[in-house]
Amino acid sequence: MVLPFVQENYGMTLDYGVYSIRQVDGIIDDLRRDHSIEDAQALLFSFGCYVGEVLVRRAKGRWCTTESLGMTGVASAPIVVRMPDGRGCNPVGKVYKRFQNGPEDSLAGFYQVMAEAPPERLGPTRK
């Protein structure tokens, strides 16, 4: 649903590359100007799946159910992404937050945080 929508309305092709997350940020800004959250529900869910799939393809994440990852109480969607270091994330929920809150909930920033291992997981710092 998202790929044809973006091609038809924006003349661009989302290619599941990391840079495309910034493109999605811009499209969400555009949707915020012209649509209510109710009108954009299906698109927002689809964009969340797209962002999740970029995490899967580029950052070695894996789709899981919220239940299997223990995120039932905190994730708004039935699917989440488990990162290689064990952290879970909710890209669908993040897209909804981006729509509601604007740039302060940047999807590009979200990707960067989730794709990088937190410092405590990298091991001790060499001196």
* Residue pLDDT, tens place only, 45-71: 999 999 999 999 999 999 999 999 888
For residue 76, pLDDT beyond 70? yes
Note the pTM of the prediction, 2 decimals: 0.90
If one counts every other C-beta atom within 10 angstroms of the C-beta of residue 120, the result is 8
pLDDT tens, 26-40?
999 999 999 999 999
Which percentage of the chain shows pLDDT scores above 90? 81
Residue 101 has pLDDT above 50, yes or no: yes
pLDDT of 123 reads: 45
Confidence grade of residue 122 (pLDDT, cut at 50, 70, 90): very low
